[in-house]
Amino acid sequence: MLDRSVLEASALEVAPLLLGAIVRRGEVAVRLTEVEAYLGERDPGSHAFRGRTPRNAVMYGEPGHLYTYFTYGMHVCANVVCSPEGVASAVLLRAGEVVEGVGLARERRRTSRSDDDLARGPARLCVALGITLADGGTDLVDGPVRLELGPLAREHATGPRTGLAGPGGGEDFPWRFWLPGEPTVSPYRAHTPRRRTPPPGA
DNA sequence: GTCGAGATTATCT
DNA sequence: GATAATCTCGACC
């Protein structure tokens, strides 16, 4: 059973604890190999940076709940809410290895050409697990989606998130955490600034 | 293997 | 109306 008090620490402390942890939903289970910490109001990339909204309210709530959000019109990403109630902070589940229910995961992820691709990426991980917006806010201790912390990872790599400049000038925090050598980890290619609205007349 | 660009919609200003 | 914590596909090496 997940010890909720462990998740009351900041995202930077919780993130490495989640490496190697198991996320289970139904018959599919994933072992996390890559996560990313979001420091809420301190993190310009966080949904909570600009204050509380109906969407990110879960992040301000009790730790140990699932924060899901819809992005780019077609993708769902999942986070583990941490820090005490009232503090917006969460850890994004970026990638993992499917360790149970591989058959079902393959069904959901038809585009994957190898098992390593089933949960390699935040949105893919949600698809493999079958996580949808409806799972947002559920309790990871005792709910449809469970989190089970494994043994502490012997070692983990860290790095600054690409595409996010230091807020106050060079305050580069290691926001990304991953297990070195895992084939399911793929630090995506360097971020490409998304185009603006497509020019109508070219 | 790497690189560039389009898709598509909930949410916020 | 603009934005976005991404993925997939196509071109090229």
Does pLDDT of A164 surpass 80? no
Does pLDDT of A155 surpass 60? yes
Can you give the pTM of this predicted structure?
0.92
Per DSSP, A161 falls in state: P
Question: How far, in Å, is the CA of A86 from the C1' of nucleotide B3?
Answer: 42
The proportion of chain A whose per-residue pLDDT surpasses 70, expressed as a percent, equals 86
State residue A61's pLDDT score. 97
* A158 part of a folded domain: yes
Report, as an integer, the average pLDDT of A34-50.
Answer: 92
Nucleotides of C strand lying within 7 Å of any protein CB atom:
2-9
Q: Cα–Cα distance between A13 and A147 in angstroms, integer?
A: 17
CB contact burial A42-56 (16+ within 10 A = b; e otherwise): bbeebbbbeeeeeeb
**Could you check: is the Cβ of residue A72 within 7 Å of any atom of nucleic acid strand C?**
yes
* A195 part of a folded domain: no
- Nearest nucleotide from residue A90 CA, by C1' atom: C5
* A191 part of a folded domain: no
Q: Cα–Cα distance between A149 and A6 in angstroms, integer?
A: 10
* A187 part of a folded domain: no
* A109 part of a folded domain: yes
Question: How far, in Å, is the CA of A186 from the C1' of nucleotide C13?
Answer: 21
Q: What domain range includes position A150?
A: 4-178
**Could you check: is the Cβ of residue A124 within 7 Å of any atom of nucleic acid strand C?**
yes
State residue A200's pLDDT score. 46
- CA-closest candidate to residue A23, choices A150, A124, A132, A193: A150
* A186 part of a folded domain: no
* A192 part of a folded domain: no
Q: Cα–Cα distance between A68 and A134 in angstroms, integer?
A: 8
State residue A42's pLDDT score. 87
* A194 part of a folded domain: no
Nucleotides of B strand lying within 7 Å of any protein CB atom:
2-13
Mean model confidence pLDDT for chain A:
89
How sure is the predictor about A194, in pLDDT bands with cuts at 50, 70 and 90? low
Total of domains in chain A:
1
CATH of the domain at A86: 3.10.300.10
User: Using CA of residue A90, residue A92, residue A98, residue A102, what is the dihedral sign?
Assistant: positive
